[in-house]
Structure formats: C-alpha cells, structure tokens
Amino acid sequence: MMSIMTRFKDIMSANINALLDKAENPEKMADQYLRNMNSDLSKVKAETAAVMAEEQRTNRELRECQADMEKMESYAMKALQAGNEGDARTFLERKTSLGSKLPELQTANQMAAANAAQMRKMHDKLVSDIGELEARKNMIKAKWAVAKTQDRMNKLGASVSGASQSMSAFGRMEDKVNQALDQANAMAELNSAPLDDIDDLTAKYDTAGSSQVDDELAALKAKMMLDK
C-alpha cells in the first residue's frame, strides 16, 4: 500500500503542464499519464477494499469483545442471584480477561479506520483528478490539432511567399532584359551610316529624260523608216 501511496503523491505533486510543454507530442503524453493513473486507480481500489475490510474486521472483533464482556457480567449477576458465588467469580474472571484485550482491539480498530479513511480519500481524489485530466486531455488534443494545422498553414504560406518572390525576381529579370534590348537597339541606330538625300535626288533626274517606253518608240520609228 505504501508504494502505491508514494506513487500517487508523486503523480499529484508533478507539474503535468510543465512536462507536457517539454513533450514532443503532448497528445501522446497526456494519454500515457491517464493510462498510468487508471492503472494506479485499479490498485488503489483493491487496496481501499482490503483496508476497508480490515476496518470492518477489527470493528467486528471489538464489538464481539464488548458484547462478550457484557455477557460475562450478565452471567455473573445470574450466578449471584442463584447463590453461586464461585460461578460468578469465574464469569467475572473471563470478563477481566476479555477486558485486557479491549485496548489492543480499540487501537487496531482506530488504525484500521484511519487507514480506510485515508484510502477512501485518496481513491476519491484520484477519481476526481482522472475526470479532470480526461477533460483537459480532450482540450490538449484539440489545441494540438489546431497547432499542427497552423504549422502546416505556416509552411504553405512560406511556399506561397517563395512563389511570389520568384515571380517578382522574374519580373525584375524581364525588366533588365528589356532595358538591355532597348540599349542595343539604340546603339545599333547610332552606329548605322547617315542617309545622303542627294543620291535620291540625282537618281530622279537620271531617269526623268529617258525611259524604256521612249527607247522602244525610237526603235519602232527607225524600223518604219526602213520599211519605206
């Protein structure tokens, strides 16, 4: 019984919240604590039943001893009424013998009653704490699920942010390429030879006086002169 009581006190004095904070998986840790406490509850129930049975036994022995003492006194009175003083003495001697055991029986009964009260108190406290931790376990599980969901959302958010940064980087690269292309086109334009309008002007007059039609007309006239 002492080992169970010691373990029970250790569990009750432990800072469960601090231990859960350090746990990698508080949900599993909470389940393990409840399994341990339910296992302890089974042992506490068995011990409590045994101690209560001991209390009942010592109480019964005490009552029986007191009843026997009263019975011996009653028989002694009857013996005296019958004029049998020797028998009365015998009954009173038995009463005295029983009375010598009475303090020991009373002490045993008091100790058994104290142990039973302590075990019942421990049993009731453990049942209450298990009920409270069951409710807290459900809350822990709910919060743990929310935390894991939030963590996944944070990771997805980081991926989306990375994609946005990549898009921004591509935009900057595109702007840089366009700028380089504009600079190249400008340089090509500057490097090209300047146009000379005089060439176009002279070509206009070079072709103004004669044309293919005029040449053919002259040839046709010459041919007609020969035919005459």
C-alpha dihedral sign at 221, 222, 225, 226: negative
In angstroms, the Cα distances linking 61 to 68, 161, 164 are 10, 81, 86
128 band by pLDDT with thresholds 50, 70 and 90: confident
Does the pTM exceed 0.85?
no
For the chain, give percent helix, strand, coil, nearest 5: 90, 0, 10
Each residue of 183-220: pLDDT tens digit? 877 777 666 655 556 666 566 665 545 567 677 777 77
| Start-to-end Cα distance in the chain | 156
